[in-house]
Chains A and B, each alone.
Chain A
Amino acid sequence: MDSQTNSARGNHFYRALFISTFVISAFTVGGGFVIIPLLKAKYVDEYGWIKDKEALDLVAIAQSMPGVVAANASILLGYRMAGVLGAAIALLATILPPLITLTAISFAYEAFASNPYIQMILKGMQCGATALIVNVAIDLLSKQIKKGLLLPLMIIAGTFTANFFFDVNIMLLVLIDGLIGLFFMRSHKFD
């Protein structure tokens, strides 16, 4: 591996990491795999803090370990970008918004759920998140197509079909794809 973690970062970096993660988490409705493309758009595409391939590796680990994927991903990405402190800051920024929102809502759930203006804002933000996810998906897919390797494209097609159309358990898919990788994809050309 080329480098260890970038642990020596300035205060400016930590502030930017906290604020950007906090805002993404605060305005990403739906949880789970929805926040990951947005974190990628911010950390990789906008700030260039981490490379594409590395981000995908870390998300793959986040998906395979116990716990909530969004929290896991922020811990792993934060650790890569700025060591243990980075992991702590990214995790805190990921869980604080739901903690605050849910605490507020638990006092006034009915009012919140039936307020039409809140529903309008949430609907709008959900469409915005859709655009961002689609953009990240297109970007990642076209990179894989450009590489022109058959096996990864078959994994994408198979995993997508099983997950989206047949609701196959994600853990099972991760296990199968990991085994395919273990046996057939050790070559550096798949890196």
Chain B
Amino acid sequence: MIYIILFLEFAKAGLFCVGGGYASMPLIQAVVVDQYHWLSLREFIDIFTISQMTPGPIGVNAATFAGNKIAGILGAVSATAGFVFPSFILGILLAMLFYKYGDIGPIRGILNGLRPAVVALIIGAGFSFILLALWNSEAMPSDWAAVDLRGGIILLLAIIAIRKKQGVIPVLLGSGILGLVIGILQQY
């Protein structure tokens, strides 16, 4: 049964993909492109592009896209479910262990060291996103003066909205609408 194969193969990729995000791509590529030839390399690279502009983690997107291609919507569901299944079991086990043993000296030490690391990673994500919003590139812009004005306006208004205690979802939706309105205005 193709659904079971999809589930198991993607469960394997999910279990062994450590580091998240792009780190998971070689594993998925090994299964989807090299081993089973479900997707061509070109289609696989397209998933990268799509993931840049659609919601969702790249691993989940790849599982969905490949599953659809191979066995339709049920294939997408099987592959995606397989991909996150190991995380689900492992996550609940780790959470249980955390609440049982999280206050033991060495574990507490490790977590105390990791908490600032998470703060640093969130700050890093913030900087990457500022570059993307203002200069449309995640790398350092070559011309700092070439600011995307539309991005700047929306970013500023969104920050004001958050400071005025607007919720997460209104800010996201409002920014999307603003992007459309300013974009259309710019065309004239």
| Residues of chain A whose beta carbon lies under 8 Å from any beta carbon of chain B | 1, 4-5, 20, 23-38, 41-42, 46, 53, 56-72, 75-76, 79-80, 84, 87-88, 91, 95, 97-99, 101-103, 105-106, 109, 113, 116-117, 119-137, 140-141, 144, 152-153, 155-160, 163-164, 169-171, 173-174, 177-186, 188, 190-191
Contacts and interface: CB of A to CB of B under 8 A. Distances in A.
* Interface SS of B by simple majority: helix
Given A66-B87, A98-B60, A102-B65, A137 B123 contact: yes
Contact of A122 (B53, B118, B121, B177): B53
- CB-CB nearest 3 A-B residue pairs: A124-B179, A181-B113, A98-B56
B115 A132 contact: no
Contacts of A174: 114, 117
Given A38-B168, A181-B109, A102 B76 contact: yes
B158 interface: yes
A42 B154 CA distance: 21
Contact of A30 (B19, B52, B106, B180): B52
B80 interface: yes
Given A1-B102, A28-B172, A160-B123, A57 B113 contact: no
Contacts, number: 388
A61 B94 contact: yes
Contacts of A56: 115, 118-119
The interface centre, meaning the residue of B151, B175, B178 with most chain A CB atoms within 10 A of its CB, is: B175
Contact of B155 (A38, A59, A130): A130
Given A32-B125, A61-B95, A177-B116, 12 more contacts: A27-B173, A30-B129, A31-B58, A122-B176, A124-B183, A136-B126, A152-B115, A163-B124, A178-B110, A181-B112, A186-B106, A186-B109
Contacts of A158: 120
Interface of B: 14-21, 23-24, 46, 49-61, 64-65, 68-69, 73, 76-77, 80, 83-84, 86-88, 90-92, 94-95, 98-100, 102-103, 105-106, 108-130, 132-133, 150-151, 154-155, 158-159, 161-163, 167-169, 171-180, 182-184
Given A25-B56, A159-B117, A190-B112, A31 B158 contact: no
B162 A132 contact: yes
Interface SS, A side: helix
A134 B50 CA distance: 25
Contacts of B159: 131, 134-135
Contacts of A190: 109, 112
A134 B17 CA distance: 28
B162 A135 contact: yes
B127 A164 contact: yes
A104 B108 CA distance: 45
